[in-house]
Amino acid sequence: MKAPLPELDADEETMPIDSNDDVVRARQLVRTLAQRCKLSLVDQTKLVTAASELARNTLVYGGGGVLRIGLVRRDGRTGVSAIFDDSGPGIPDIDQALTDGWTSGGGLGLGLSGARRLVDEFTLDTEVGGGTRVAVTKWAR
């Protein structure tokens, strides 16, 4: 069963992630929404760092994909949610992929596990041969 996605507000934005330039643009878009949401500078940095890792994973491991981002509201709180979707090969072992230090490539093995630690909410849905979706949310304090 797929985890529920955050319900983005009507001003959600969608952008492709098909190049290194798109990864940079994704970071900029995340920072803009984090500022609009009035996240603290520390929380802005955490969210942008997590989004950068996830955008890079979408490009490198997923072969490209899409970012959907917007403000979210729940229980009187406002936050920013970013959803990264790709149609890549999927992740065969989620527990292993979320283990610090494990890497399927040449990186440090901190992408998914690091992103998860930097945000308030993290969901990962994947299917071998069917792509991966990662959703993250950071709430204003």
Q: How confident is the model at residue 141 (pLDDT cuts 50, 70, 90)?
A: confident
Number of Cβ within a 10 Å radius of residue 39: 23
Q: How confident is the model at residue 1 (pLDDT cuts 50, 70, 90)?
A: very low
Q: Which residues contact 53 (CB under 8 A, 6 or more apart)?
A: 110, 111, 112, 114, 115
Q: What would the pLDDT profile of 114-137 be if each residue is shown by its tens digit?
A: 899 999 999 999 999 999 999 999
* pTM for this entry: 0.88
**pLDDT of res. 101:** 62
The label of the residue with tokens 């930097």 reads 118
Give me 136's structure tokens. 């993250």
Number of Cβ within a 10 Å radius of residue 15: 14
Q: What average pLDDT does the chain have?
A: 88
Instruction: Indicate if the pLDDT at residue 43 is higher than 80.
Output: yes
**pLDDT of res. 108:** 43
Instruction: Indicate if the pLDDT at residue 6 is higher than 90.
Output: no
Are 135 and 3 in contact by the 8 Å Cβ rule? The answer is yes
Q: How many Å from the N-terminal Cα to the C-terminal Cα in the chain?
A: 31
Are 105 and 33 in contact by the 8 Å Cβ rule? The answer is no
Are 81 and 135 in contact by the 8 Å Cβ rule? The answer is yes
